[in-house]
Amino acid sequence: MSRRHAITTGCVLTITALTLTAAPVVTRLPTAETPAAAAVRRSPPGMVEALQRDLGLTREQAEERLANEIRLAPIEAQVREQIGDRFGGAWYAGITARTLVVATTSVADIPRLTALGVRAEVVNRSLKELQVIKKELDVTLATRPHAGRVRYVDVRNNKVAVLSSESEATEHGIEAAGVDTEAVRVVPSKEQPRLLHDLVGGAPYYVGVTSRCSVGFSVLRGTQNGFVSAGHCGKAGSATTGFNRVAQGVFQASNFPDSDFGWVAVNGDWTPRPLVDNGVGGTVTVAGSKEAIEGASVCRSGSTTDWHCGIIQQRNASISYPQGTVFELVRTNVCAESGDSGGSFISIDQAQGVTSGGSGDCTSGGVTYFQPIGEILTTYGLTLMTTADKPPPPNTGTCTGYAQTVTGTLNSEQSAYQPDNRHYRATAVGVHAGCLDAYEGVDFDLYLQKWNGRVWDTVATADGLGAHKKITYTGPPGYYRYRVLSSSGFSPYVLGYKSP
């Protein structure tokens, strides 16, 4: 279900920060497939469709792009380590990211790169050299935002780019500062990033009466649950309420400007999940926080414009907002609007960061910047909640008194067969009863199936909306099993059942 909300008063987009969850003897029973294994590194629900819409791709092209990124990312990490200080950056080329391009300052690296299936480009400056030049520009231009509000390392052109609405004045300022002008590219631009003021990633939360932002990612600090978001959304000590205006938590720390991140400790009424809302009634799971390289697909979830995708364009961008300069952001061509601040940026299933600011909108298109997740976690000593974490079991108050109990965990659109991916045998005519409990807010379904000698027939179904299901069926002797399906949402579950 879409979560669009009215934009709060005073939240204007122009570059801005974006403020505003045993077989019969005569016949052999088939072995049930393991859905979780089949879904490994599968594109999250809604991501392929969003890439089609936002990048103008066919479904086949979107799927190929994601598969290529998964295949090539480890090669980039290997190359970066091997060539060390000669590394000039890397990026994907082609609409389906079929080619990995790696820049190096040494011709001698070409054979090694070619052998790895990489397209090599020889450049004059290493990535480290470009980062030093960008730091010099940050100092020079930070106090003159209209003469260079956005600055980033442009590895494709082996230069530092400065976006400016006053190109001539910016060029003079760079020359006066003694920065190597051959290493700098001034780009005429009308971008004016601003802060977009407005525990599933992308969900809205409120600070005070009118300020709305978006949840980034669920985190832990020791035993304390919480989430990360944009620092400009609230100061340390600011209280937050959730999407339902129920008391939620308090900002424990907040950095803005210089950086744009903070974290909120939530009360016991809120359960953090390794999930990001995909805006179409489903969720994307968070498996880790491996940094995606330039040219990788990335999607953003926010409380105003829901789910939009694009490409990581440049890293290490500096933004001079009217409220101050923020450094080391990542530039993307994903759109965003007021209220999306703090929301999740994710590449396939890897958390990338939280939305800071942007330019444009999701009608005409735009540019959005995010604060990388790694610095946030390190600064505050936080642990990202991922699918590797074992969530607490759901409340089983509705499923008591059953002879057998089994448990499991499902992501959205996954299913499992119980008991233990097998079946059970009933030796007499009688009643089969099953009861399923999962987290509130998800939609789980329950099916009872019977083996007819050739295939499994579904003999009873409980597939209404909600997380709690019950089945009662009177049947003959035979072999039975339950199928548990997550129609929407991530959750552990408990299945209680009894048989004749």
For residue 381, what is the domain's CATH number? 2.40.10.120
100 lies in some domain: no
Q: Which helix (H) or strand (E) holds 81?
A: helix 59-83
Flag whether 413 is in a domain: yes
Residue 230 sits at the vertex; the CA angle it makes with 226 and 234, to the nearest 5 degrees, is 80
Q: Are 201 and 327 found together in one domain? A: yes
Residue 260 appears among annotated catalytic residues = yes
Which is it for the CA torsion 161, 165, 170, 172, positive or negative?
positive
CATH number at residue 483: 2.60.120.380
Q: Token pair of 216, please?
A: 């980034």
> CA 465 to CA 487: how far, in whole Å?
9
- Is 397 within the bounds of a domain? no
* Residues β-bridged to residue 492: 409
CA gap 359, 336 in Å, rounded: 8
Query: Where does a domain end: 366, 389, 412?
Result: 389
Q: How far apart are CA 134 and CA 125, in angstroms?
A: 13
Residues 357 and 465 in one domain: no
Q: Is 109 a catalytic residue?
A: no
- pTM above the 0.75 mark? no
Q: Are residues 224 and 320 in the same domain?
A: yes
Backbone angles phi, psi at 461, to 5 degrees: -135, 140
Answer whether residue 82 is part of any domain: no
Q: Give the domain extent around 9.
A: 1-20+42-55+130-389
Shared domain for 434 and 372, answered yes or no, is: no
Q: Is there a single domain that holds both residue 290 and residue 433?
A: no
Of the residues 138, 260, 437, 443, only one is catalytic, namely 260
Q: Kindly name the residue from 232, 423, 432, 468 that is annotated as catalytic.
A: 232
Q: For position 326, what pLDDT does the model report? A: 95
C-alpha 205 chain-centroid distance: 18
- Report residue 171: phi and psi, to 5°: -60, -40
Closest CA to 160 of 144, 146, 143, 140: 140
- Give yes or no: residues 427 and 349 share one domain: no
443 is an active site residue: no
Task: Please report the pLDDT score of residue 31 as a whole number.
Answer: 42
Residue 495: predicted pLDDT: 93
Catalytic annotation, pick one of 126, 211, 259, 341: 341
pLDDT along the chain (500 residues), means of 10: 33 47 38 37 76 92 94 94 96 95 97 94 96 89 71 94 86 83 89 69 92 95 93 96 91 96 92 85 87 96 95 95 94 96 96 96 94 96 86 67 87 83 92 90 89 92 88 95 86 90
Residue where a domain terminates, one of 354, 389, 424 = 389
Residues 161 and 275 both lie in one domain: yes
Mark whether 375 and 472 lie in a shared domain. Answer: no
Predicted pLDDT of residue 41: 54
Residues 6+ apart with CB under 8 A from 402: 433, 435, 496, 497, 498
* C-alpha atoms less than 13 angstroms from C-alpha of 321 in its C-beta half-sphere: 27
> Among the three residues 334, 364, 389, which one is the final residue of a domain in this structure?
389
**Residue 211 covered by a domain:** yes
> Angle at Cα 62 formed by Cα 34 and Cα 340, nearest 5°?
95
In a domain, 222, yes or no: yes
Structure confidence at residue 20 (pLDDT): 54
Q: Same domain, yes or no, for 384 and 444? A: no
Residue 310: inside a domain, yes or no? Answer: yes
- Note the maximum CA span of the chain: 92
Same structural domain for residues 285 and 357? Answer: yes
Task: Identify whether residues 172 and 302 lie together within a single domain.
Answer: yes
Contact call for residues 213 and 205 (beta carbons, < 8 A): yes
In a domain, 354, yes or no: yes
Measured CA to CA, the distance from residue 235 to residue 253 in angstroms comes to 7
Domain count along the chain = 2
Tens-digit pLDDT profile for residues 248-292: 999 999 999 999 999 999 988 888 889 998 877 678 889 999 999
Residues 315, 376 within the same domain:
yes
The span from the first CA to the last CA of the chain, in angstroms, equals: 41
Cα torsion through 173, 152, 357, 258, rounded to 10: -70
